[in-house]
Amino acid sequence: MEHIREQFSQIYDQYIEKIYRFVYLKVNSQEIAEDITSNVFTKGWESFQKQESDIKNPGAFLYQIAMNSVVDYYRQKGRTNIVSIDSIPQIADLGISAHDKAIFNADVNAVKESIYKLKKDYQDILIWHYLEDMPIADIAQIMDKPEGTVRVMLHRGLKELKGIIKES
């Protein structure tokens, strides 16, 4: 048991920032991102104890839970992926250096807000590939799509993001 706990502890340290960031960019709220991320790692830990040996790729496993959790969140919320006007000042008030650094940079903030408006699949691909430096092959595995399709989606996602930024 200690062995499993130690393993999951390492996985947690390795992925907490990545999962939080992934969720945050999809929900655009620190509070909600923390709730969902907490849920992701709680579920992850429960599953990890039961089927440790079956989890070959903990990152993919956690991202899968995160994706489902975000979907569940929006389903429960009864809303589509639309920017909440109220969320913008909340983000500005975070008072956290890492956030501030990203948010007060106009370009970066524009990208962040625009990602939020993207289609879910494009969001996932752009975040994984450009933020988390995940290879196309790994993304293809998580999304259960051919690598070629992922490449095309990456290109389209980037193009669509550019379009959203241009309109803003």
Partner 1 sequence: MTKITEKQLIKSLQQLKDIKPRKEWALLLKSQILNAEYAEQRAISKPAKKTWSILEFLPSFDYQKQLAYAFAALVFLIVGVFGFAQYTMPGDLLFPIKRIAEQTQNPMQVAYNRSEDLVQIVKENKTHNLEPAISEFKASMVDAAKKLTQDLAQNSDNNSIKVAIAEVKKIQDNQKQLETLGINIGETKDLDNVLALLVQDQIDTLNESTLTEEQQEQLIEITKLYDEEQYSDALEKILLINQ
Residues that bind partner 1 (CB under 8 A): 1-2, 5, 8-9, 12-13, 16-17, 20-21, 24-25, 33-34, 37-38, 41-42, 45, 49, 96, 98-99, 101-102, 105-108, 110-112, 115, 126-127, 130-131, 158, 161-162, 165-166, 168
In sequence order, the 6+-apart residues with CB closer than 8 A to the CB of 120 are 26, 70, 71, 81
Q: How many CB atoms lie within 10 A of CB 106?
A: 8
Q: How far is the CB of 66 from partner 1 (least distance, A)?
A: 13
Nearer to partner 1, 103 or 142 (CB): 103
Between 30-51 and 2-27, two packed helices, what is the crossing angle to 10 degrees? 150
- Contact indicator for 110, 168 with CB cutoff of 8 Å: yes
- Contact indicator for 36, 27 with CB cutoff of 8 Å: yes
Tokens 């983000």 appear where?
Answer: 91
Q: How far is the CB of 54 from partner 1 (least distance, A)?
A: 18
Nearer to partner 1, 112 or 145 (CB): 112
Q: Using only C-alpha atoms, what is the Rg of the chain?
A: 16
Q: How far is the CB of 161 from partner 1 (least distance, A)?
A: 7
Q: How far is the CB of 19 from partner 1 (least distance, A)?
A: 9
Q: Which sign, positive or negative, has the C-alpha torsion 121, 23, 74, 43?
A: positive
Nearer to partner 1, 74 or 130 (CB): 130
Q: How far is the CB of 78 from partner 1 (least distance, A)?
A: 26
E strand spans, the chain? none
Cα separation of 107 and 104, whole Å?
9
Nearer to partner 1, 21 or 145 (CB): 21
